[in-house]
């Protein structure tokens, strides 16, 4: 076969196909050629057997293609309220066309909870699949003196560490807000990630990446300077580069993309003379016909979210360009609800829910979430099954064919059957929450909550009263007794709150 014929064969057989598709095509052509050759020979009546074998192979080809280990992309946004997105609230003024497109390609979760209503604790729970009282990171690390000496316990197993032990080991990258401690031994590249570009803390200036007077941006474990590059773009571009590189290497990859936006910078991390805390790049004002000098905080916040949308749009386009979108599981969610000051000022909304971040009312813990996996998860659907962020850990294990750690209790459950429509029932009998003085437990349609252990339990029916407006504790004391007893029993099984000194002493 000369070079011209080889080139022609390559163009007609392989070009435009993924490696799995090309391999399937090559196998098909090879078997067909052998089949035709055999049919021309005297096979003494065995033609039927070969026909059946050939047909069996044809039926197996789609299965072989679909069994390729999927890539996994987890995207987190920071402090976005349930009602901030138009695909949950049609009255939202925020322009997010790419996220709306993603929602149309996904199942939209309407009963999804985060394990904690604050950044550090929520992220630690996502990555471990365990409630805060098990992994012990029960409080926010940002703002604590000497926080660089603290880290999520090194004895905890994180998603990337688990995926490194999958039958086909994953390439792993994290790009964005780490926020679970940056002590030596607890940094991303020391916890299973091959590459990291992001901030160690949170609340940083989105353009200077400064936290408490010092640069907080790192590549792996080294401090770097990218002053002037907007953080959302910085993290998205790093993720795109990583995905492109690993796809060329034909390796399954896991990318964790925790944006630090739209969370505003802390007051001590920006110019004290700054007129506005909502930092957005100039281009994000253009869809609204606004000037980058716009002073209205609501409009500036909208631009911050639109910048995230544009970054996610570029990321989704890259998956299509690389011909890997169909083999990539995408999960998008907010780490917790919006906070009271911005709800009260009309900048954000957790509508239709009561409460806000750092509380255990629905507005603090019930968050927007999307799951996309073409041809497996039904597109354009809504899922009301109760799930939570801890379920991401075992879902990743299932997708990768990895084993869950056997030496610890994993609170999350594999949610893939729920997302694909195979199982309509929640894998959880109850959801257990504790944060600061708040206690809460959800069982079926019912929720008990109290703002301190010195207060009486309140009882709400979430199916009929999603705004938690009608306290039924007096009319249903039987349910209060049942749920509060369940809460007490679960509390006995785990250590209660540990002071932050615990992590100073027990990072390892």
The β-bridge relationship of strands 253-258 and 171-177 is parallel
Among 246, 344, 264, 350, residue whose Cα is nearest residue 301: 264
What integer pLDDT is reported at residue 34 of this predicted model? 53
Q: What is the reported pLDDT for 266?
A: 80
pLDDT at 487 exceeding the cut of 50: yes
Is the pLDDT reported for residue 503 higher than 70?
Answer: no
Record: fold of 72-427: Alkaline Phosphatase, subunit A (3.40.720)
Domain boundaries, the chain: 3-66, 72-427, 431-506
Strand residue runs (E) in 420-490: 430-435, 438-443, 446-450, 458-461
Secondary structure class of 490 (helix, strand, coil): helix
For the segment 463-468, the average pLDDT, to the nearest whole number, is 98
Q: Look at residue 238 and give its three-state secondary structure.
A: helix
**In the predicted model, what is the mean pLDDT of residues 213-242?**
97
Mean pLDDT, the chain, rounded, equals: 88
**What does the alpha-carbon distance between residue 217 and residue 197 come to, in Å, rounded to a whole number?**
7
Distance CA 92, CA 106 (A): 20
**Closest Cα to residue 73, out of 253, 306, 290?**
253
Cα–Cα distance measured from residue 231 to residue 40, given in angstroms and rounded to the nearest whole number = 65
Residue pLDDT, tens place only, 180-207: 988 888 899 999 999 999 999 888 999 9
Count of alpha carbons within 13 angstroms of residue 129, beta-carbon side: 24
Spatial separation of the C-alpha atoms in residues 224 and 203, rounded to whole Å:
18
Mean pLDDT for 464-492 is 97
CA angle 495, 362, 300 (to 5 degrees): 115
Paired tokens of 454: 């010195």
Q: What's this model's pTM, rounded to 2 decimal places?
A: 0.86
Q: Is 191 exposed, middle or buried (0-12, 13-18, 19+ CB in 10 A)?
A: buried
Tell whether the model's pLDDT for residue 295 goes beyond 90: yes
How would residue 505 be classed by pLDDT, with cut points 50, 70 and 90? Answer: low
8 A C-beta contact, residue 307 and residue 99: no
The fold adopted by the segment(s) 431-506 is Arylsulfatase, C-terminal domain (3.30.1120)
Confidence (pLDDT) at 275: 67
- Residue 264 pLDDT: 87
Max avg pLDDT among 135-139, 471-475, 493-497: 471-475
How far is it, in rounded angstroms, from Cα 351 to Cα 343? 9
- pLDDT band, very low/low/confident/very high, at 447 (cuts 50, 70, 90): very high
User: DSSP code of 284?
Assistant: G
pLDDT digits (tens, 9 = 90+) for 6-29: 444 443 344 333 444 445 445 545
pLDDT in tens, 87-143: 999 999 999 999 999 999 999 999 999 999 999 999 999 999 999 999 988 888 765
pLDDT band of residue 4 (cuts 50, 70, 90) is very low
**What average pLDDT score do residues 353-382 get?**
98
Q: Please name which of 124, 129, 126 lies closest in space to residue 140, comparing C-alpha atoms.
A: 124
Question: DSSP per residue over 291-344, as a string?
Answer: -TT---HHHHHHHHHHHHHHHHHHHHHHHHHTT-GGGEEEEEEESSPPPHHHHH
């Amino acid at each position: 076969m000369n070079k011209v014929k080889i080139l022609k064969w390559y163009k007609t057989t392989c070009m435009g196909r993924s490696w799995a598709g090309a391999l399937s095509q090559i196998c098909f052509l090879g078997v067909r050629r052998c089949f035709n050759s055999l049919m021309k020979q005297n096979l003494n009546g065995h033609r039927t057997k070969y026909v059946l074998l050939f047909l069996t192979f044809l039926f197996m080809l789609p299965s072989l293609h679909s069994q390729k280990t999927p890539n996994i992309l987890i995207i987190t946004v920071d402090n976005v309220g349930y009602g901030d997105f138009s695909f949950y609230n049609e009255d939202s003024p925020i322009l997010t066309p790419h996220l709306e497109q993603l929602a149309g390609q996904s199942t939209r979760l309407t009963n999804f909870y985060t394990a904690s209503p604050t950044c550090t604790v929520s992220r630690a729970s996502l990555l471990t699949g365990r409630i805060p009282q098990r992994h012990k990171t029960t409080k926010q690390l940002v703002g604590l003196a000497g926080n660089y000496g603290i880290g999520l316990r090194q004895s905890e197993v994180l998603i990337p560490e688990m995926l490194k032990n999958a039958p086909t080991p994953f390439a792993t990258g994290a790009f964005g807000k780490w926020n679970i401690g940056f002590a030596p031994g607890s940094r991303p590249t020391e916890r299973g990630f091959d590459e990291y570009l992001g901030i160690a803390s949170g609340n940083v200036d989105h353009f200077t990446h400064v936290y408490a007077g010092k640069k907080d941006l790192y590549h792996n474990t080294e401090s770097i300077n990218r002053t002037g590059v907007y953080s959302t773009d910085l993290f998205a571009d790093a993720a795109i580069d990583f995905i492109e590189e690993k796809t060329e290497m034909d390796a399954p990859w896991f990318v964790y993309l925790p944006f630090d936006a739209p969370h505003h910078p802390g007051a001590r991390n920006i110019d004290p003379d700054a007129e506005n805390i909502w930092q957005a790049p100039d281009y994000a004002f253009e869809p609204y016909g606004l000037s980058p000098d716009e002073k209205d905080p609501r409009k500036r916040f909208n631009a911050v979210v639109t910048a995230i949308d544009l970054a996610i749009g570029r990321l989704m386009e890259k998956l299509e360009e690389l011909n890997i979108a169909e083999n990539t599981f995408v999960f998008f969610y907010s780490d917790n609800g919006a906070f009271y000051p911005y709800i009260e000022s009309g900048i954000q909304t957790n509508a239709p829910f009561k409460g806000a971040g750092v509380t255990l009312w629905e507005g603090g813990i019930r968050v927007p979430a999307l799951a996309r996996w073409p041809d497996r998860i039904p597109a354009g659907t809504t899922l009301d099954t109760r799930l939570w962020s801890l379920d991401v850990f075992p879902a990743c294990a299932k997708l990768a064919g990895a084993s869950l750690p056997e030496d610890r209790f994993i609170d999350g459950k594999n949610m893939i059957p729920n997302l694909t429509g195979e199982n309509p029932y929640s894998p959880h009998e109850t959801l257990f929450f504790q944060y600061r003085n708040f206690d809460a437990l959800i069982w079926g349609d019912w929720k008990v909550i109290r703002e301190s252990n010195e207060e009486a339990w309140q009882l709400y029916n979430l199916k009929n009263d999603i705004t938690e407006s009608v306290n039924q504790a007096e009319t249903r004391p039987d349910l209060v007794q049942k749920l509060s007893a369940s809460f007490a029993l679960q509390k006995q099984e785990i250590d209660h709150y540990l002071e932050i000194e615990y992590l100073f002493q027990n990072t390892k």
